[in-house]
Every structure is written in C-alpha cells, then in structure tokens.
Amino acid sequence: MKILGISGSPREGNTESMLNVILNSAKEFGAETKLVSLKDLKMGLCKGDQSCSDTKKCIISDDMDVLVGEIKDADVLLIGSPCYFNNVTANLKVFFDRSNPQYESQAWKGKKVAVVMVGAMEQSAKKGIEVLEDFCVIHGMEVIESYVAEGEKIGEVESNSEVMTELKAIGERLANG
C-alpha cells in the first residue's frame, strides 16, 4: 500500500504534524509512505489557457509534473490543509487549478483519498474541509477519511492526545486499505 501525503500548509506546523502522525502510523502497519509539502515545490499559477481540455496536458512545465507522477503511483492520497478564511490555503488552490488536465482525462477517478484540516476554530475548519472534499469528488476520487482538528499555534495539535489517537487510527485504517 503506497500512501502519498500532500501538505498545503506554507509552514512546518499543525498540518504537517497531522500528516506525519497518520503516515508514521500507516508505516507501522506496513504501508509505504511519503510526504510532499507544496511549499517546497515550484508550481506556477494556472494561466487559464484551457488547451488542456483537448490535450489533457498542461502548458506549464514545473514541479507539478513530478507530483502528478507521484500521485499516479500512489494507492491512497492523504491531503491536508490549514483552514484559511473557511477555505484551503493558496498553495492548495494552485494545486487544484493545475490539476485540470487530470480532471479532463479523469486520471484520478476512483483513487482513494483521505482529507484532514486544522483550524483555530473547529466550525470554520469544518467549512474549509468541504472545499477539499468537493475537489476530490469533482475528480471522481473516493473520500475514505475526513477529519478536522482544532489548533492554531505550532505544536497545539500534537499536544492534544485525543486528536493524536484519532490520527493514528486513521493511519492504521489507511494501511489496511
């Protein structure tokens, strides 16, 4: 079982902690795991050219090409984002828009995906995670886990033992398919 984590946070904070806890737990249960943070990738904004509707290819060549290859190889995706204004981060929105060629070719249809979000206010993050879920559903992916945690400062999520227990359980479930 190959699980690819994708972090949409622009910092090494709660989102990366959540993804690492899930991935480390999945690893303990035999999964092969990798975490990619969008902040470390050079990914240009979608230019709205829309030739990808016909060609199923993006006119931009950058780190998105590498990420698309890694997504193809993964059995399960694990996408995480902090909640920004009841939404995902700009990093993740760039990824959404740049995925239009994969939408056009239905390349990710049927892929299993788990989504997590952290926000200072749980109610707000619950709205934000719907955006993330919608992205996956539009691509025809199967959302198998969806989890929201409350946290603002770096380390806050890690210090919440209930959240840690839940994240480890998600990792176990993902590893077991």
Ligand X SMILES: Cc1cc2nc3c(=O)[nH]c(=O)nc-3n(C[C@H](O)[C@H](O)[C@H](O)COP(=O)(O)O)c2cc1C
74 contributes a contact to ligand X by CB under 6 A: no
Q: Which range of residues in 6-14, 47-55, 92-100, 140-148 is near ligand X by CB under 6 A?
A: 6-14
Q: Are 78 and 110 in contact (CB under 8 A)?
A: no
Residue from the set 3, 4, 14, 135 that interacts with ligand X by CB under 6 A? 14
Of 58-66, 68-76, 83-91, 160-168: span binding ligand X (CB under 6 A): 83-91
- Shortest distance in whole angstroms from residue 102 CB to ligand X: 25
Give all strands (DSSP E) within the chain, no chain letters: 2-7, 32-37, 76-82, 112-119, 142-150
The rounded Cα 6 to chain-centroid distance in angstroms is: 4
Query: Directed axis angle between helix 14-28 and helix 161-175, to 10°?
Result: 50
Burial of residue 122 (CB within 10 Å: 0-12, 13-18, 19+) is middle
Q: Which of residues 151-170 bind ligand X (CB under 6 A)?
A: 151-152, 154
Return the residue of 5, 82, 101, 171 that touches ligand X, per CB under 6 A: 82
Q: Taking CB under 6 A as the rule, does residue 5 contact ligand X?
A: no
CA atoms of 104 and 84, how far apart (whole Å): 28
**Which pair of tokens denotes residue 107?**
């390349």
Among 13, 43, 76, 113, which residue interacts with ligand X (rule: CB under 6 A)?
A: 13
User: Is 142 strand, coil or helix?
Assistant: strand
Kindly determine how many residues on this chain lie close enough to bind ligand X according to the rule CB under 6 A: 19
The residues that touch ligand X, with contacts defined as CB under 6 A, are 9, 11, 13-15, 82-86, 118-121, 124-125, 151-152, 154
